[in-house]
Amino acid sequence: MPTTELDGLVTRTTVILEKPADWEEWIFLRKDSANRNHLWPMVNPDLDEEALEQLEEPEPVIPEQYHEVTEQDTGVVLRDMTTEEFQRYQQAERGYDRALARYTVKRKALDDFTQEIGRTISRRHIHLIQSDDTAYARLKRLKKHLCPSTAERELQLLTKYRQLQSRPRNNIDTWLDEWLHVVRLCEAANLPDVTSPRAQRDFLLAVKGLDDTWATTQQANLFEAQIQGQSVKSLDDLIAQFTMYWRSTRPVASSHGTFATLGISQDEPQATENKDKREQDKKPKCVCGLNHRFKDCWYLGAKGKPQGWTPKPEIQEQFDKAMASRSTFGAAMKAALKANTNAVKARDHAGTEASAASTAPRQFDDHTPTFDTLNSHVSQLTMSSDCASEQTVKPSLINRWILDPGSNTHVTNSRAYELLIHEWGDVILLINTPRGTEQIELTYVAYVPGFLTNVVGLSRCRSIGIHFDSGRDCLYQKSWKNVVCKLNYTGGHWLIDAE
């Protein structure tokens, strides 16, 4: 677990040893700290105690060791020394002072390092080192309890490495950094899975889903280099090149009118990711192995199951046993199952009522053409579509309808939605409402083939009292209580159409 510590005017990031997965990074930082004062040979937990380098206090200089007794001595050693003996004694005394100073510095550094170990472990592990006074004893004890075995470590690294080989869902920069980090850990563990050029091939296969052209070109270069017996690009070089290529070619958001919609976000904001992670950590661990409440578990009838999902028999058996018992957990599971079952019945009933009602689509704009501005929009749409067609676009948005508060024109890129279209036409859409799925009608929609997405211009809806609430992700009509459309916030855009 990362944390920060202040050192004068410098803020440093450190790692708190909380679980076995933190051991490698934590012990690396402790070794780095110990090496600043050449202490690692004295505290290395991988060595036996007999093999450790010892810190010994220098012996003080005794004057009698540098004087030969004679009959003329007065009993005062320093007065009885000859000039040569006194010079040798002074030289030894200066050497002792220097050795004592070095010892004092090293002794203090060792004491500070011992305290540093206690400050950089989780509070729940402090009891492990309470009876150990030396840095070596503390490191040895922590290694015994928190250092994963070689087999366990290799399994963890292989799992992380295989997870990297799928296309990233959120932050691409973080994913690329993780490639470098995990591969270096695998190399340190001497895992054959990352030996060159295996890691390069796996990386190119992983980025193929992001940019097929770049990955295919690099795969051909890699294959050609192997055929010719030449050295291949290192994984570091490939990742650095792809990072620069990706940043220079991915789409950039525009700030004008309708085309602010085209700023297709590749990465969710970091603050949102951190918030989601904190919320996920707060949720209890379910019997199914995921962090969520019982009411959100698919085994208890929660909505959102992927198509084709089937329960695992061994997990379903655990739920059945728990619900058959009289425990608190069993009662909570039964309550969640009952609530989800009732919710499904309510949704089915609402859907039946909605389908039985009038099928006429809801009026969703003013039904008024704006021909004085349409021509300018047509030329701008066509020009922007041609320019944007060379950009990389998220395919998931091509067939979706995005709400654009800055547009006074509806835009579609497909005739599939239109009725009686020539250059302008009407569109029938399905939207999500608090009452279920309903149809709406958009009029005077501009048809622009090749446009990057479909746009609903909010200003066309304003005249009939439809307004946008970004806090609740919805559209309401006249009164904030009268919600007429539930929006789906995805990738920085509000999507209006039902999936």
Which tokens go with 411?
């835009």
pLDDT digits (tens, 9 = 90+) for 308-344: 778 888 888 888 888 888 777 777 788 888 888 887 7
Q: Phi, psi at residue 184, to the nearest 5°?
A: -65, -40
pLDDT digits (tens, 9 = 90+) for 439-481: 888 888 877 776 678 888 888 888 888 999 988 899 999 888 8
In the prediction, which pLDDT does 157 show? 86
In the prediction, which pLDDT does 164 show? 87
Strand residues in 202-254 grouped as ranges (E): none
* 308 Rama sector, left if φ>0, alpha if ψ -120 to 50, beta otherwise: left
pLDDT band at 400 (very low <50, low <70, confident <90, very high): confident
pLDDT digits (tens, 9 = 90+) for 138-182: 999 999 998 888 788 888 888 888 888 887 777 888 888 989 888
pLDDT band at 13 (very low <50, low <70, confident <90, very high): low
Count of CB atoms situated within 10 Å of the CB of 352: 11
- Comparing CA positions, the residue from 14, 34, 27, 19 lying closest to residue 139 is 27
pLDDT digits (tens, 9 = 90+) for 212-231: 889 899 999 988 988 888 88
Cβ pair 437, 354 in contact under 8 A: yes
Residue range 235-260: mean pLDDT, rounded:
69
393 has pLDDT over 50: no
Count of CB atoms situated within 10 Å of the CB of 18: 16
Give the best-scoring range by mean pLDDT among 83-92, 360-369, 422-431. Answer: 83-92
Separation of alpha carbons 215 and 105, rounded Å: 55
Which tokens go with 52?
């450790």
Residue range 89-109: mean pLDDT, rounded:
94
Separation of alpha carbons 498 and 438, rounded Å: 9
Q: For the chain, what is the radius of gyration of the CA atoms?
A: 35
Separation of alpha carbons 263 and 280, rounded Å: 29
Separation of alpha carbons 16 and 138, rounded Å: 15
Cβ pair 239, 176 in contact under 8 A: yes
Three-state DSSP at 83 gives helix
In the numeric block, the tokens 């690396």 are attached to 28
Which stretch of DSSP H or E encloses residue 155?
helix 150-164
Instruction: Say what the pTM is.
Output: 0.42
